[in-house]
């Protein structure tokens, strides 16, 4: 098999997506893709910033037909987009907001409805490079992770098989996660479209939005979400329509929350383990499994104390950013995050890289990002200690906002006359801990 179809086995009039104004059939989708592909600029890569999951998919598919690579930025922070644009010269962007992105030529969607009435599902070569997922690198420059069509199709099929999507009679997918995020692309775009399901184009945020999106979708849809959204749905007391199954990722779900969700929504809750560099690699049903089970076709390789992921679609083994213990032939347990790595609401970053970006802010003489010890189940935010004489907290937050994904913005940001560095210039953990204790007492705030 050297290629794979753009979409799964839909009939022409099957509903491929549910847009804000109603259904889009598979035929309408193909027509929109072919029409858009004809009109795209002749450039090698495209920054797809489209808000609607359906429009995003149309843009992604059209780019693939033109053999263009879709760039998936880790955030929309202007400085992140600027750095990607500088790095990927001669890219253009697809946008629906008319927002200017650092001198990049823009194509504004929605495009004209296609007038062609095709019914040939295009096939894409498996080895074709179709996307680049950016992660925050240790150098300050976003690190590109190249994805082949093979990688995306393989993960979508393996995930659907593991969850038993077809056996459970799931016909639709609703997702609260962004489609530009690797997990979102795999689980909320590739999975439904490869399986011939109806993909909801929205990105519901509030529990009431999630209820509305599920109501518009086929009964017993798959809900692709995060622990934060699940918790909100449980605590806000909304009544959701029947759900087929729930798939959560981006941060660890506690078994208590998973159990409550299974009982309230009468649906199995599965979790995905993955990271942008390798994509989804393992899953578990949280209430019954402590261990993660590798998806079909994915293998673990150990190299001393480090573990890597191997798969036929990955050109070389990819190191796992967490510390893990192998518990069986295809199972493992997560012990904790690797030193220096943080995961805030599904976005990973290295504290070292965040600190470097802080130090690049004008007027900052010294500074450090730290992750306070968080309570289980609640979202931990980062904290920053900054030495910047003459600058205010607002000045620095404003500068950081231009550079960082908002989830990493420090809360709080403390201005200090100096940091407790030792003779070698290092910041001893104990000194930082004492500093934070003192701050907690003074502000009587719980960090």
Partner 1 sequence: MTSQQLSPFELEIAKLIVEALKLKADPSSIEPEAVLFGDGLGLDSIDALELSLAIAQTYGYQLKSSDPEIKATFSSLRALARAIELHRTK
Interacting residue ranges for partner 1, rule: CB under 8 A: 204-209, 212, 228-229, 231-232, 235-238, 345, 379, 381, 397-398, 401, 406-407, 409, 411-412, 443, 445-447
- The closest alpha carbon to 29, from 4, 2, 53, belongs to 53
CA–CA distance, 17 with 28 (Å, rounded to integer): 10
- Output 81 or 152, the one with its CB closest to partner 1: 81
CB of 212 to partner 1, least distance (A): 6
CB of 175 to partner 1, least distance (A): 14
CB of 397 to partner 1, least distance (A): 6
Tokens of 365: 């003489």
CB of 82 to partner 1, least distance (A): 18
N- to C-terminal Cα separation, the chain: 53
- Output 195 or 226, the one with its CB closest to partner 1: 226
CB of 176 to partner 1, least distance (A): 9
- Output 319 or 412, the one with its CB closest to partner 1: 412
CA–CA distance, 171 with 114 (Å, rounded to integer): 26
- The number of residues in the chain equals 447
CA–CA distance, 86 with 5 (Å, rounded to integer): 33
- Output 407 or 431, the one with its CB closest to partner 1: 407
- Output 345 or 432, the one with its CB closest to partner 1: 345
Partners of residue 124 on adjacent β-strands: 4
- Largest Cα–Cα distance of the chain, in whole Å? 73
- Output 330 or 345, the one with its CB closest to partner 1: 345
CB of 443 to partner 1, least distance (A): 6
Q: Based on DSSP, count helices (H) and strands (E) in the chain, helices before strands.
A: 12, 27
Provide the strand spans (E) within 36-120: 45-48, 69-72, 91-95, 106-108
- The closest alpha carbon to 170, from 192, 187, 152, belongs to 192
């Amino acid at each position: 098999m050297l290629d794979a179809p753009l979409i799964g086995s839909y009939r022409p009039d099957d509903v491929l997506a549910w847009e804000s104004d109603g259904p889009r059939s598979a035929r309408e989708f193909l027509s929109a893709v072919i029409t858009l592909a004809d009109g795209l600029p002749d450039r090698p890569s495209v920054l797809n910033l489209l808000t609607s999951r359906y429009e995003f998919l149309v843009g992604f598919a059209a780019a693939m037909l033109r053999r263009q690579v879709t760039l998936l930025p880790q955030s929309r922070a202007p400085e992140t987009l600027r750095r990607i644009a500088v790095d990927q010269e001669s890219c253009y962007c697809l946008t629906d907001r008319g927002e200017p992105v650092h001198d990049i030529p823009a194509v504004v969607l929605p495009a004209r409805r296609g007038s062609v009435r095709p019914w040939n599902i295009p096939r894409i070569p498996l080895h074709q490079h179709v996307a680049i997922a950016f992660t925050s690198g240790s150098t300050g420059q976003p690190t590109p992770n190249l994805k082949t069509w093979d990688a995306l199709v393989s993960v979508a099929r393996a995930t659907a098989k593991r969850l038993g999507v077809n056996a459970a009679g799931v016909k639709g997918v609703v997702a609260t996660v962004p489609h530009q995020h690797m997990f979102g692309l795999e689980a909320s775009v590739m999975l439904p479209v490869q399986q011939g399901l109806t993909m909801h184009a929205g990105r519901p945020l509030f529990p009431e939005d999630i209820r509305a999106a599920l109501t518009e979708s086929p009964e017993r849809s798959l809900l692709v979400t995060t622990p934060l959204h699940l918790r909100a749905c449980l605590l806000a007391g909304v009544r959701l329509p029947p759900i087929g199954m729930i798939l959560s990722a981006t941060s660890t779900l506690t078994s208590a929350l998973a159990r409550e969700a299974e009982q309230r929504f009468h649906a199995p809750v599965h979790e995905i383990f993955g990271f942008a560099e390798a994509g989804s690699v393992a899953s578990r049903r949280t209430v019954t499994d402590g261990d993660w089970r590798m998806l079909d076709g994915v293998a673990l390789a150990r190299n001393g104390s480090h573990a890597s992921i191997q798969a036929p679609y990955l050109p070389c083994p990819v190191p796992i950013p967490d510390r893990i213990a192998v518990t069986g032939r295809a199972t493992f347990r997560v012990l904790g995050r690797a030193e220096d790595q943080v995961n805030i609401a599904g976005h990973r970053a290295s504290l070292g890289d965040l600190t470097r970006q802080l130090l690049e802010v004008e007027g900052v003489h010294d500074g450090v990002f730290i992750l306070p010890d968080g309570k289980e189940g609640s979202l931990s935010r980062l904290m920053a200690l900054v030495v910047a004489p003459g600058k205010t907290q607002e000045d620095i937050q404003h500068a950081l906002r231009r550079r960082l994904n908002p989830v990493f913005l420090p809360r709080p940001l403390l201005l200090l006359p100096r940091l407790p560095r030792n003779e070698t210039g290092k910041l001893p953990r104990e000194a930082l801990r004492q500093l934070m204790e003192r701050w907690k007492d003074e502000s009587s705030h719980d960090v």
